Structure 1
Amino acid sequence: MDVKLIKAALGDRDIVRNMYAFYLHDLTKYTEALEVNEEGTFEFDAFSLIWDKEGIEPFFIKADGKLAGFLLLLRAPFLKKADYCINDFFLYNSFRGKNVGQAAIELLFREYKGTYYIEQLKRNEPAVRFWKKVYRDYQLDVQETSRMEDGEECVGQFMKVE
């Protein structure tokens, strides 16, 4: 598949919001902290920050010209402990297991060199496996951390991409 990583613009706000609802719905398999809102969907409570704060960049992942997912990249001045953080990473089910995610990460790593922090809910075993495979494939030296957030155990990784 031909995979592209495209920076989302302010005019794409509604598309990103819709995709976030699917992403958050997927996460409900692994956490009790997310609840459906009055409109029957899921909402990222700090969604406006994506467009209002410097250092937060949403990207669309496209595969063969179709919208396949998104990632949210954090960087300075919003981020302090690493150069970059992949804060959220989502693929629609129909694109999973087809190397679309790996290709998107490869494009990101090629464009954005430096230190990264990436975190997953420990209970989200598919995400934990995905990232471990990425680290192995790229032969990255990873320092793993563990912390609690909203009563959920999270595992995180610091690494340098050169």
Structure 2
Amino acid sequence: MPVALREVLKSEKNILINLYSLYLHDLSRYTSTLDIGPDGIFEYEGFDQFWEVDGLSPYFILIDERIIGFILLLERPFLRKEYDFAVNDIFLLNKYRGKGNSTRAIKEIFHKKQGKYYVIELIENRTAVSFWRKIYKEFNIPYEEKQDMIDDELCLIQTFKV
């Protein structure tokens, strides 16, 4: 099935908040810095910035007009000038994983937004590390990779051009 991307409208903020909580729940498996809030959800307090700050671009991932996940793309002027884009977060609902939907979503982003990218993964998140290495191989993208501590977490940082 074809995957489509659509920018998240501010009026759809609550949908993104709900999906982001699920994403943070998944991510909490790999880090001790994420905990559930007193209201029973994983919270991220910067959502309003997505529509107020240039360069923070949330997209829904869709199949047949149905939301199945999201991508948070960072762009200039939010980024330093040596990069054009960063895939900050990508998330799919469980029932849509393992079917090539994330790969198709990334392909769509790369088709729409060409330039110099970087991606950061928690080194413990072997699923994410494996996913990105598969992307580079499948799309024949040369990349550079290094390890660094970011917010007290050991991470892989990959840079590449599309």
Give deviations 1:12-54, integer Å, cap 9, x for gaps. 1111111100000000110000011111100113222212211
- Displacement of 1:85 in angstroms is 0.4
Moved more, 21-30 or 44-53: 44-53
TM-score scaled by length of structure 2:
0.96
Task: Give the aligned partner of residue 36 of structure 1.
Answer: 36
Q: Provide the rounded CA distance (Å) in 1 between the counterparts of 2:65 and 2:13.
A: 19
TM-score scaled by length of structure 1:
0.96
Q: Provide the rounded CA distance (Å) in 1 between the counterparts of 2:64 and 2:99.
A: 12
**In percent, how many aligned pairs have the same letter?**
39
- Displacement of 1:146 in angstroms is 1.4
SS of equivalent residue, structure 2 residue 136: helix
C-alpha root-mean-square deviation of aligned residues, in Å? 1.0
Q: What is the letter of the counterpart of residue 3 of structure 1?
A: V
- Displacement of 1:11 in angstroms is 0.9
Q: What is the letter of the counterpart of residue 85 of structure 1?
A: A
Moved more, 64-73 or 125-134: 64-73
Within a 5 Å distance, the mapping from 1:1-162 to structure 2 comes to 1-80=1-80, 81-161=82-162
Where does structure 2 lack aligned partners over 5 or more consecutive residues? none
Kindly indicate whether the alpha-carbon contact (under 8 Å) linking 2:13 and 2:47 is maintained by their aligned counterparts in 1: no
Give deviations 1:38-86, integer Å, cap 9, x for gaps. 1110011322221221111100001233211000011111011310000
Q: What is the letter of the counterpart of residue 62 of structure 2?
A: K
Structure 1 stretches of 4+ moved >3 Å? none
Q: What is the letter of the counterpart of residue 71 of structure 2?
A: L
- Displacement of 1:132 in angstroms is 0.3
Q: Provide the rounded CA distance (Å) in 1 between the counterparts of 2:45 and 2:151.
A: 14
SS of equivalent residue, structure 1 residue 28: helix
SS of equivalent residue, structure 2 residue 30: coil
- Displacement of 1:108 in angstroms is 0.6
SS of equivalent residue, structure 1 residue 60: strand
Q: What is the letter of the counterpart of residue 142 of structure 1?
A: Y
